[in-house]
Amino acid sequence: MPGGYKNEQGTPVLLKNTAFAVFVISDAIAMVLSTSALTMHLYWALLGERGQVDEDLKEYFSDWTFFLTICAIPALIIAFITGSHAVLAPSNWLAITSCFIGVSFFFFAYKALIVGYEGHEADDNTQCLSFSDPNSTDKV
């Protein structure tokens, strides 16, 4: 628990801290979303192994696990940022640096999405995200 506990009462030291409250909420959201995605994925894999899943249901489970995972990632980043800020607040420069590093994820994720989107618009002879030519006869 960020900040530790009060020995007498067993309650978190940072209980009245706003950043700590946001940490607890975003951490719980990230846990529920990621656990739900994992559970759905495992259930889908179990049914698929038995041959009990038609293609529509596979697509449905795949879409939901992707959606839940995509929603869990920002909640995880927010939990990291707010938990770090709550604990590191006495050291202002360290708290700001930690928050900046956490927020940089959103910038890199956005850039990756733009590059991926531009890759789909490229003509068939080029691939934006590939290190090798798909038409090459060279074996790696």
The whole-number mean pLDDT for each consecutive block of 10 residues of the chain, a chain of 140 residues, reads 63 74 92 93 76 73 88 92 86 86 86 72 48 49
Report the b/e string of 98-118 with b at 16+ CB within 10 A: bbeebeeeeeeeeeeeeeeee
Stated pTM of the model = 0.67
pLDDT digits (tens, 9 = 90+) for 80-117: 998 888 888 888 888 888 888 888 888 888 888 777 66
Q: What is the pLDDT of residue 135?
A: 53
Q: What is the pLDDT of residue 132?
A: 46
* Separation of alpha carbons 106 and 111, rounded Å: 9
Q: Which two tokens stand for residue 63?
A: 């879409």
Q: What is the pLDDT of residue 72?
A: 93
Q: What is the pLDDT of residue 47?
A: 75
Q: Which two tokens stand for residue 121?
A: 């618009």
Report the b/e string of 12-36 with b at 16+ CB within 10 A: bbbeebebbebbbebbebbeebbeb
The DSSP code for 5 is B
Q: What is the pLDDT of residue 25?
A: 93
Q: What is the pLDDT of residue 41?
A: 85
Q: What is the three-class DSSP state of 51?
A: coil
